[in-house]
Chains A and B, each alone.
Chain A
Amino acid sequence: MFDNAYFNIGYLDTLSYRDTIIHRLDPRAKLIATLAFIITVVSFPKHEFAGLLPFLLFPVLLFSLSDVPVKFILKKVLLVSSFAVCIGIFNPLLDRQITTSFFGFSVSGGWISFFSLMLKFFLTIVSALLLIATTSFPGVCHALQKMGMPELFISQLLFLYRYIFVLVEEAMKIVRARDMRSFGKKGLGIKPAISLFGSLFLRTVERAERVYQAMLSRGFTGRLNTSRTYSLTISDVLFVCLTIMFLYLFRTYDVVSTVGRVSMRLLG
């Protein structure tokens, strides 16, 4: 379940340290743009499908300008065990009202709302992953802090992030050792797992004590400092303004129908 493919935080982390136009944007700008994008996408009513298509422009632009590998992100989207898919699949079953017909095929409202849901799922998940792939996690934390998140919570996020890699590696060793001793699946039950949790917990607490000692000896005074500084530039402001302008345009104006009508008239 939690195999390497799911748990490769490390690769996303390395992607975020590349140097492209998108990576150079201020984390705040990217966070605001992504949130605005997600809220706009989600604000569409449930039977809207075509209106969502122009929104693909945002992830496509980010992908192509930031050199983030498309395949890797798409694989991750597929891997996410989605609650949305499980719940969405009920729509075609429950809503069989025929609402549209395409070239003689009649399509029920349920299928339209299902595909709308899947497109929304895709857009929101991809944009969240792109945010982290183009902005390092400390960058996102910094943006959150600047936007008013309490400092203590930000320190908690940074601390957690630093130790995930360490502890996950330790847990993987434990799992490997247990699996090698579990012939015929004996030993994979709940009781052995509990003692593994217990000993991992104790080791974690001991580690926290050592970390605290180490921090004290390096002059820890109760707050974490970051060395990197960020500043908002004109291009950041431009990026946010353009994004919001296009989001507003795509949300309020039916681009798809207009393009269709114009092209059909041109073709005769």
Chain B
Amino acid sequence: MHMADALLSPAVGATFWAGTLGTITYCSKKLKSNLDEKLMPLMGVLGAFIFAAQMINFTIPATGSSGHLGGGLILAIVLGPYAAFLVMASVLTVQALFFADGGLLALGCNIWNLGIYPCFMAYPLIYKSLVKPGTSSGRIMMASILCGVVGLQLGAFSVVMQTSLSGRSELPFSTFLLLMQPVHLAIGIVEGFVTAGVINFIKAARPEILESAFSAQPLSTEISIKKVVAGLLIATLLTGGVLSWFASSNPDGLEWSIVKVLGKSRLSEADHGIAPALKSLQEKTAFFPEYGFPKTAEGEKRKDETSSWPAIDPGRSGSGIVGAALVLAAVLLIGGIIRVLRRKSA
């Protein structure tokens, strides 16, 4: 579920980049202040492990399709949230550069979706409160599956939110949500199951690896959940603020999509943040059966859209096609000429 550049608007992409960069800087500072020198090679090699592990695919029972490991949760359990987040961010950066998974603008969103939720939500809030040193394998299994599900549900929700706010896809918010969440429920369960299996394997073979992550490292024990939640809250408010600012300066794309999501024409000053979005989503879903499909809103949207379209002028569209063909030909010609000239000079 890598978010892609093409689906993003610059405002959304930049906002999530800002959040991601802030978290990377925060984690680096946090780690640097009490860095165990040994951690550096371990982080690096474990990042490469995530790549290697993703090559080992397996068949998922009852579906016949094959899956592979995401890895964010294993990293959080072994390394603690700060180091795990940095490793996950580095893995996604390499994927974005070499495999073009998503692209460079979407990288901010991808690190956010696949890094923040497992490392700073699922692991500290769920796993750490359920699993203490010496807990049974069954309990580890339960906690991991819960974490996997929560992490991926939040990630999937965030993908839907980013896509809707960008307004490049026609999929209505609620339909897209209904499409994404169930799929990621299944993926989350598998991820949690595999993670628990690996953790139990490590526990049986070399328990000291997990214990050191748990107790010896001051990093993982000193996370205050309040701080993390407060940080995320600030980030959300910031997102809302920046988005609404962009919405007022760039009315065509973003405002239109915010209309779609919020069901309102304009974000008022007091309406920053995610709460109103959730509220209106709630209202929408509550009225859903009565309205069938929110037809009125849909109709209005159509009208808006057509009015924003320039009137079709046959002369203009004719010259548009000719122009497009000529530009395309010119671009290819330039490329060809340079190639030929370079071959000759070489």
Contacts and interface: CB of A to CB of B under 8 A. Distances in A.
A242 B322 CA distance: 27
Given A60-B332, A90-B171, A197 B53 contact: yes
A24 interface: no
A61 B296 CA distance: 48
A249 interface: no
Contacts of A162: 44
A95 B60 CA distance: 36
A212 B45 CA distance: 11
Contact of A201 (B25, B49, B59, B101): B49
Interface residues of B, number: 109
B216 interface: no
Contacts, number: 345
Interface string A155-179: 1111111111011101110110010
Contacts of B99: 6, 76, 80
Contacts of B28: 150-153
A101 B317 contact: yes
B6 to A, nearest CB: 4
Contacts of B94: 137, 157, 160-161, 164
A211 B86 CA distance: 20
A42 B31 contact: no
A57 to B, nearest CB: 5
A45 B166 CA distance: 10
Tell which of B56, B312, B331 has the most Cβ of chain A within 10 Å.
Answer: B56
B40 A155 contact: yes
A257 B318 CA distance: 9
A204 interface: yes
A202 interface: yes
B158 interface: no
B197 A198 contact: yes
B90 interface: yes
B292 to A, nearest CB: 16
Nearest to B98: A9
B182 interface: no
Label chain A's interface by main secondary structure.
helix
B49 A188 contact: no
B283 interface: no
A235 interface: no
A215 B101 CA distance: 32
Contacts of B332: 60
B312 A101 contact: yes
B40 A222 contact: yes
B317 A54 contact: no
Q: How large is the interface on A (under 10, 10 to 19, 20 to 34, 35 or more residues)?
A: 35 or more
A189 B167 contact: no
Contacts of B140: none
Interface string A203-214: 011011101100
A49 to B, nearest CB: 8
Given A257-B320, A264-B319, A132 B97 contact: yes
Interface string B75-107: 000000000001101110110111111111100
B232 interface: no
Interface string A25-49: 0000000001100110111011100
A240 interface: no
Nearest to A99: B309
B97 A190 contact: no
B198 A194 contact: yes
A132 B94 CA distance: 10
B46 interface: yes
A14 interface: no
A212 to B, nearest CB: 5
Contacts of A129: 100
Interface in A48-68: 50, 53-54, 56-57, 60-61, 63-65, 67
Interface in A177-204: 178, 185, 188-202, 204
A142 to B, nearest CB: 14
Interface string A131-161: 1100001001000000001111101111111
Interface in A246-268: 255-261, 263-264
B270 interface: no
A2 B312 contact: no
Given A215-B41, A257-B323, A170 B52 contact: yes
Interface string B23-56: 0110011011001011011111111110111111
B3 interface: yes
Tell which of B51, B52, B194 has the most Cβ of chain A within 10 Å.
Answer: B52
Contacts of A6: 99
5 contacts: A46-B253, A190-B193, A194-B197, A197-B198, A208-B42
Interface of A: 1-2, 6-7, 9, 12, 34-35, 38-39, 41-43, 45-47, 50, 53-54, 56-57, 60-61, 63-65, 67, 76-77, 80, 82-84, 87-88, 90-91, 93-95, 97, 99-102, 109-110, 113, 117-118, 120-121, 124-125, 128-129, 131-132, 137, 140, 149-153, 155-164, 166-168, 170-172, 174-175, 178, 185, 188-202, 204-205, 207-209, 211-212, 215, 220, 222, 255-261, 263-264
Given A87-B176, A220-B37, 12 more contacts: A1-B68, A38-B105, A42-B105, A61-B334, A100-B317, A128-B104, A150-B32, A200-B49, A208-B46, A257-B316, A260-B322, A264-B318
Nearest 7 pairs of A and B residues by beta carbon: A159-B44, A260-B323, A198-B201, A260-B319, A194-B197, A150-B28, A171-B52
